Amino acid sequence: MIRTTFYEQESANRRESVLLVLIVLVVLALFGFAIGYGTSGYPEAGIAVTIGALVLGGLVSVGSYFAGDQLVLSSSGAKEVDPQSAPQLIDVVQEMAIAAGVPMPKVYVIDDSAPNAFATGRDPNHASVAITSGLLQKLDREELQGVLGHELSHVRNLDIRFGLLVAVLVGSIALLADVFLRFSWFGGGRSRDRNAGGAAAIVFVLAIILAILAPIFARLVQLAVSRQREYLADSSSVELTRNPHGLARALAKIAGDQEVLEAANRATAHLYFTNPIKKFEARSSSMFSTHPPIVDRINRLRQLTGDPPLAEADVRALTGLD
Amino acid sequence: MEVVIVLIVLVVIAVVVIGIYNGLVGRRNRVDEALSQIQVQLKRRHDLIPNLVEAVKGYMQFEQKVLTDVTNARAAAVSAGAQGSVPQQAQAENALTGALRSLFAVVENYPDLKANQNVLALQEQVTTTENQISFSRQHYNASVLDYNNGIQTFPNNVFAGMFGFTKRDFFEAEPEAAEVPKVDLSLT
């Protein structure tokens, strides 16, 4: 579908994110209910199990909510900068913060020649933006504005919080599946309750099937949500800069770069501007990627300026694939 | 029994109306805040200019006109901000933008000046200040859009007039802004 204004792209992205979260919620509810009813024969047990799983998942994530950003920043070796040490960077972040209507975040630089950036923090008042020295060197002011517009949009759209919400749901499903399969394996298969009958037994089997499939399915949905939010951040960046060219050029420059970002690993990969684990980028049209393919991101931006999608030759030149 | 139902309906309506009112107050305040932010940025630009003129003055003895143009335009903008109407202020600020562009165009002719660290730093300052003025106007327009949508859509529009919420205007560029600014490269 061609969407020629950033407003349309943003609305579509938000709708799709919400839909995906609802799907996970429904899966969690069905699964919890199936476990509760299947093992005990009481529907009330199903509701109790679902709520219990959500509470546990939430508790596990509380630490991440409050301290997560510090952890990510220190694990990546980021150093805070100020107007004396990085005047142009601070200026560009300030410009984007004004355009986005959010307070000025803390700004960090990671000493690595691989070009990348990320944003973290639970809300705009506690936000941080980090960028590699490689990115700072390779981009001009307009491109830097595009990238930082993208990162500040993650902050403004509360994507870090949204991602955490999804992680809680997915984690709860995984937890439920784990606990349930363990107990069933060790003899929970026999229903010890008078109330359990034929219906409950069928639901029990359903619960076993869900226990195997639901965690994988939920993880796939989580990755789809991550990709949606990346597209949303791209559109929001254009809303801030009113200039798709800067961001499109920045993406093209980064696509061509084959360097691996040393500080990133699988756990933090989803936070970055482009997927820092290079072997995923090449086949990232798969469902297993946290980021959409760079070529798709560039093509969506080209829709906004009325340009045709990139030609085959350009795509090959960009990604170095043949 | 009917009394209870009527009471519940009334409470629900009250909660909804309170929500609408508070939402509109928040949006209107954001518009006002965005407006004052523009003033903050304009003042920043005014404060920057004396430093800039000082830094280039020594090198540009033959360029007095350009320097005095900038200084005068700045003074005019400051007084328009203090006493003039919004359109008058916008006009004065646009004139100042033109004068600054002329100044930087002339700086291009002086290799020593172009390479001077102070001048480069000031040039970045001016660039970012111009951008920040522009983005704060853009943000103002975005908050006006949000507020106007808020008071014009249903069901808010039913209560908006009652509570005294009126439509706000977007920041409009002056007609002169559509013209290409004149850059004065004369040596007099």
The answer on pLDDT for B76 being more than 60 is yes
Q: Which of A88, A96, A242 sits opposite B124 (nearest CB)?
A: A88
The answer on pLDDT for B88 being more than 70 is yes
Report, as an integer, the average pLDDT of A63-71: 76
Report, as an integer, the average pLDDT of B10-27: 93
Does residue A156 fall inside a structural domain? no
Does residue A261 fall inside a structural domain? no
Least confident residue range of A45-59, A83-97, B131-145: A45-59
Write the DSSP assignment of B1-60 as a string of letters: -HHHHHHHHHHHHHHHHHHHHHHHHHHHHHHHHHHHHHHHHHHHHHHHHHHHHHHHHTT-
Other residues' Cβ atoms within 10 Å of the Cβ of residue A190: 6
Q: Is A32 exposed, middle or buried (CB count within 10 Å of its CB: 0-12, 13-18, 19+)?
A: buried
Q: Is A130 helix (H, G, I), strand (E, B) or coil?
A: strand
Does residue A135 fall inside a structural domain? no
Does residue A189 fall inside a structural domain? yes
The answer on pLDDT for A108 being more than 90 is yes
ipTM of the complex: 0.78
The answer on pLDDT for B184 being more than 70 is no
Does residue A120 fall inside a structural domain? no
The answer on pLDDT for A189 being more than 70 is no
Higher pLDDT, residue A10 or A256 = A10
As given in the structure block, the two tokens for residue A274 are 């482009």
Q: What is the mean pLDDT of chain A?
A: 83
CB A92 within 8 A of CB A243: no
Q: How far is A210 from chain B (nearest CA, A)?
A: 40
Q: Which of residues 123-182 of B touch A (CB under 8 A)?
A: 124, 127-128, 131-132, 135-136, 138-139, 142-143
Confidence bin at A322 (pLDDT 50/70/90): very low
The pLDDT of residue A93: 96
Smallest Cα–Cα separation from A274: which of A254, A257, A256?
A254
Q: How far is B28 from chain A (nearest CA, A)?
A: 14
The answer on pLDDT for B188 being more than 60 is no
Report, as an integer, the average pLDDT of A254-259: 74
Smallest Cα–Cα separation from A30: which of A225, A227, A217?
A217
Domains and CATH numbers, chain B: 2-166 (1.20.1440.20)
Does residue A263 fall inside a structural domain? no
The pLDDT of residue A283: 47
Catalytic residue among A10, A151, A230, A281: A151
B111 DSSP β-pair partners: none
As given in the structure block, the two tokens for residue B6 are 């009527």
Other residues' Cβ atoms within 10 Å of the Cβ of residue A39: 24
A128 DSSP β-pair partners: A106, A120
Q: What percent of chain B has pLDDT over 90?
A: 36
The answer on pLDDT for B181 being more than 60 is no
> In what helix (H) or strand (E) does residue A289 lie, and over which residues does it extend?
none
The pLDDT of residue A190: 53
The pLDDT of residue B17: 92
As given in the structure block, the two tokens for residue A240 are 């801030």
As given in the structure block, the two tokens for residue A57 are 């998942």
As given in the structure block, the two tokens for residue B36 are 């004052």
Give the residue numbers spanning the domain of A37: 6-62+164-215
Higher pLDDT, residue A111 or B177 = A111
User: Does A10 qualify as catalytic in the annotation?
Assistant: no
User: In A194-319, which ranges are continuous DSSP H helix?
Assistant: 198-241, 244-255, 278-282, 294-304, 312-319
Highest mean pLDDT among A235-244, A266-275, B179-188: A235-244
The pLDDT of residue B5: 94
The pLDDT of residue B187: 52
The answer on pLDDT for A25 being more than 60 is yes
Q: Which of A87, A88, A95 sits opposite B135 (nearest CB)?
A: A95
Q: What is the rounded distance in angstroms from the CA atom of residue A106 to the CA atom of residue A127?
A: 7
Does residue A172 fall inside a structural domain? yes
Chain B residue at shortest CA distance from A96: B135
Smallest Cα–Cα separation from B30: which of B147, B170, B132?
B147
The answer on pLDDT for A218 being more than 80 is yes
Does residue A74 fall inside a structural domain? no
Write the DSSP assignment of A84-121 as a string of letters: TT-HHHHHHHHHHHHHHT-PPPEEEEE--SS--EEEE-
Q: Which of residues 16-75 of B touch A (CB under 8 A)?
A: 30, 34, 37, 41
Q: How far is B118 from chain A (nearest CA, A)?
A: 13
B89 touches chain A (CB under 8 A): no
Report, as an integer, the average pLDDT of B35-62: 84
As given in the structure block, the two tokens for residue A60 are 């596990």
Q: What is the rounded distance in angstroms from the CA atom of residue A175 to the CA atom of residue A158?
A: 26
Q: Does the CA dihedral A273-A277-A279-A283 come out positive or negative?
A: negative
Confidence bin at A163 (pLDDT 50/70/90): confident
Least confident residue range of A109-118, A260-269, B4-13, B43-52: A260-269
Q: What is the rounded distance in angstroms from the CA atom of residue A221 to the CA atom of residue B171?
A: 42
State the total domains in chain A: 1
Across the interface, whether the CB atoms of A95 and B128 are under 8 A apart is answered yes
Across the interface, whether the CB atoms of B135 and A91 are under 8 A apart is answered no
Helix, strand, coil distribution of chain B in percent, nearest 5: 80, 0, 20
As given in the structure block, the two tokens for residue A195 are 């109330």
As given in the structure block, the two tokens for residue A292 are 């959409």
Q: What is the rounded distance in angstroms from the CA atom of residue A268 to the CA atom of residue A73?
A: 10
